Amino acid sequence: MTEAPSTLSCFLCGERRFSLISDRARFGMPSKFWLCEGCGLIHQDPESGGNWKTERYASGEYRESNAPESPDRLHAGRRRLGEERAAWLDSRLRGRTGSPRVLEIGSAEGAFLAAGRSRGWSVEGIEPDPLLSAFTRDRLAIPTFSGGWQGYVVQDRFDAVVSFHVIEHLPDAPAFLRFVRGLLKDGGLFGVETPDNLRPWTPRGRWTDWFDQGHLSTYHEPGLGLLLQRAGFERLVQDAGCLDLRLMAEAGAPRETAPAMGDLAGQVRTAFHDFRRHHWWKRWARRVARVLRPGRTP
Ligand SMILES: [Zn+2]
């Protein structure tokens, strides 16, 4: 049996027992992903690639390996997604007066922020990749801080903060959530989206493509919910229509809740067992369909 590194301990439940769930990340990159036997979160081995820091996003390395298109093309391709995410936040902002101030952390090419601005919001971004933050600032004329969230200084608190597919990249999610709470007015909204350990999926060819070398920890609803409560969020609502884990929470007071994780590790293990099997069959069905397609040129 492969041993988890002795330096690994779970920041959600304190557990030190882990089992290996994948030894490959996207693009076949070698890396180790460990399932926490205490709570079902998945943590990447910090010694085998899981050492992504803000500087690696700031150097453009992550964008070049994952989405090497120009910012223009990225923006065009993600416009619909940005509008869908803005509509989700808008449905929760209704009833609040005035033009809400909204911050996106990890704003990438600005598709969400542009959609929010067209709804009359006052929008702002934080983005560590300099090409993407410059595009949002200079081409879309949306104020965007170029750098990691740790370097951002808040002037006025926000009505809403969102971060889509960011938290799984962070080594210290509890610190990040406390930072977000500090950015929000009391009662302000935090919208967060991240991969779901209980519902893994990937549009790509191999099941191991669900794992990403930049993903340091991945979550499920009970686990992320607990972290949010500890950081001072309440009234959590999950968007069941999203393929990933998408939660909206309200800024309130922190609550020190004890983990009651049941057999979440077992549920995650089963979810990945099924995902692996179904993904393998789907891949073969697609291949067969391609071969049998009428009019196929040999
Ligand atoms: Zn744990």
> What is the CA(14)–ligand 1 centre distance, in A?
6
Percent of the chain topping pLDDT 90 = 72
Question: Residue 218 above 90 pLDDT?
Answer: yes
> In 161-263, where does DSSP find H-type helix?
173-183, 221-231
What does the CA dihedral 165, 166, 172, 175 come to, rounded to 10 degrees?
-110
Residue 278 Cα to ligand 1 midpoint, Å, equals 27
Query: Residue 133 — very low, low, confident or very high, per pLDDT cuts 50/70/90?
Result: very high
CB 241 within 8 A of CB 193: no
Distance 4 CA to ligand 1 centre (A): 13
Q: Which residues contact 141 (CB under 8 A, 6 or more apart)?
A: none
Facing residues of 271 across strands? none
Question: How many angstroms is it from 218 CA to the middle of ligand 1?
Answer: 11
Spatial separation of the C-alpha atoms in residues 80 and 148, rounded to whole Å: 26
Ligand 1 mean position to 127 CA, how many Å? 29
Distance 35 CA to ligand 1 centre (A): 8
Helix, strand, coil: what percent of the chain each, to 5? 40, 20, 40
CA distances 161 to 53, 103, 181, 266, Å, are 22, 5, 9, 33
Query: Ligand 1 center to residue 202 CA distance, Å?
Result: 24
Rounded CA gap, 57 and 177, in Å?
20
Distance of CA 10 to the CA centre of its chain: 18
Measure 133 CA to ligand 1 centroid, in angstroms. Answer: 34
CB count in 10 Å sphere of residue 201: 14
Q: How high is the mean pLDDT of the chain?
A: 91
**Separation of 11 CA from ligand 1 center, angstroms?**
7
Rounded to the nearest angstrom, the distance between the alpha carbon of 6 and the centre of ligand 1 is: 15
- The Cα–Cα gap between 77 and 248 comes to 25
Residue 238 host element (H or E): strand 233-238
State percent of the chain over pLDDT 70: 96
CA distance 106 to 140: 16
Taking residue 234's Cβ as centre, other Cβ atoms within 10 Å add up to: 14
What would the pLDDT profile of 176-192 be if each residue is shown by its tens digit?
999 999 999 999 999 99
Side-chain-side CA neighbours of residue 209 (13 Å): 12
Those residues whose C-beta lies under 8 Å from the C-beta of residue 297, and which sit 6 or more positions away, are none
Please give the average per-residue pLDDT across 160-173, as a whole number: 95
- pLDDT of the residue at 56: 80
Distance between CA 158 and CA 233 in Å, rounded?
15
Q: What is the pLDDT of residue 53?
A: 75
Nearest to 184 by CA among 101, 120, 106: 101
What's the pLDDT at 295?
67
The Å distance, Cα 15 to ligand 1 centre, comes to 5
pTM of the model: 0.92
User: Is there a contact between 247 and 225 (Cβ–Cβ < 8 Å)?
Assistant: yes
Instruction: Please state whether beta strands 233-238 and 245-251 pair in parallel, antiparallel, or not at all (unpaired).
Output: antiparallel
CA of 120 to the centre of ligand 1 (A): 41
Q: Which two tokens stand for residue 12?
A: 């959600």
